[in-house]
Amino acid sequence: MRPPLDDLNALRTFVAVAEAGSFTAAAERLGAAKAQVSLQVSRFEAALGERLFHRTTRRVSLTGAGQKLLDDAAPLLQALAGAVEGVRTGSELAGRLRIGATLDHTAQSLAGAVADFAVLHPRLQIELRSSDRVADMVTEGIDVSFRMGWLRDSSQRATSLGTFEQGLVASPRYLKLRGTPAHPSELADHEWLALTLLASPLTWTFQPPSGEPVTVRMRARLRTDSSAALRALLARGAGISVLNLQQAQDELASGALLRVLARWKLPQGGVHAVFPPGRLRSPAAAAFVEFLRGRLA
């Protein structure tokens, strides 16, 4: 006979192990003994009649059943904790908010918004994680992540916050050496710098002031997964590429970078708030997104 499933602590322990990736790390997070955490998870698996983890001597990973339970349960637990904390503190937000964003977006706009939001909610613990790589939101416990450009996965739970203009740019040094292209078809012969964060970093469609769009397939010898690194490479004369014009405004204003084929339009990029899978969103994450939307408006 299976034991009853009436202990939320078991679910909380399961989520901690899943997010930490090990029983030792989860035990440290929970302030419990490793043996106690392992025993509670084993009893939970027995109650469910399903194995939730693949275990090795160094690490644990989720089974299919475990991943589904995590996707469904983690947002519910966080919402429950937020509801309890909300009763205790009134309408003031409390608990933890973990935000992910690219390095550029964090430095240029998001950090200021986080600072102001923190002043409004002094009981809220906020962690701002900056990285140009796409994080695993569930594994890293991120409540909301801000992405620029296009989402690789259309099934992601995302909210659009706006758009930005893109433009083809290069340094004066590069253009003096290689010449300034007069038509998008000439770009295939240039040193293209690829931003691998994009779903299709080598294929671009240019729209002229009138007439049919032109799609060009580039070849790239240099690639990077960082928009900041891409700007630096372009400024050093390493090649030609497309940038978010808002992020490149300092280089364009100083003349370190120049617009190329400025009359040809490129697709606008999007600014998205992405939430982890599950049915409920963190109240603090939802509140921050609305706060940010108000600032952008």
Question: 108-120 pLDDT, tens per residue?
Answer: 778 888 999 999 9
CATH assignment, 8-62: 1.10.10.10
Q: Residue 194 pairs with which residues in a beta bridge?
A: 223
Please report where in the chains the tokens 């995590």 appear, as a residue.
70
* Rounded Cα distance, 159 and 157, in Å: 7
Q: What is the pTM of this model?
A: 0.59
Question: In angstroms, how far is CA 141 from the centroid of its own chain?
Answer: 12
Give which of 193, 230, 200 is closest to 215, Cα–Cα: 200
pLDDT of residue 264: 95
**E strand or H helix at 284:** helix 283-296
At 154, is the pLDDT very low, low, confident or very high (cuts 50, 70, 90)? very low
Residue 141 backbone dihedrals phi, psi, to 5 degrees: 70, 30
Q: At what angle do helices 283-296 and 64-89 cross, to 10 degrees?
A: 80
Instruction: Report the chain's terminal Cα–Cα distance, integer Å.
Output: 58
pLDDT at 297: 63
CATH T-level fold of 84-163+271-296: D-Maltodextrin-Binding Protein; domain 2 (3.40.190)
Query: For the segment 178-232, what is each residue's pLDDT rounded down to a tens digit?
Result: 999 999 999 989 999 999 888 788 999 999 988 899 999 999 999 998 888 999 9
In the chain, ranges of CATH 3.40.190.290 domains = 166-267
Topology of domain 166-267 in CATH is: D-Maltodextrin-Binding Protein; domain 2 (3.40.190)
How high is the pLDDT of residue 224? 92
For the chain, give every residue range classified as CATH 3.40.190.10: 84-163+271-296
| Average pLDDT value over all residues in the chain | 83
Examine the pLDDT at 149 and tell me if it is beyond 70: no
- Higher pLDDT among residues 149 and 29, named by residue: 29
Q: Which residue has the tokens 């469609």?
A: 205
Structure confidence at residue 27 (pLDDT): 84
**Is the distance from CB of 190 to CB of 178 less than 8 angstroms?**
yes
Question: pLDDT tens-digit profile of 129-146?
Answer: 877 666 667 767 788 888
Angle at 136 (CA atoms; ends 35, 284), nearest 5 degrees: 90
The pLDDT confidence band at residue 6, using thresholds 50, 70 and 90, is low
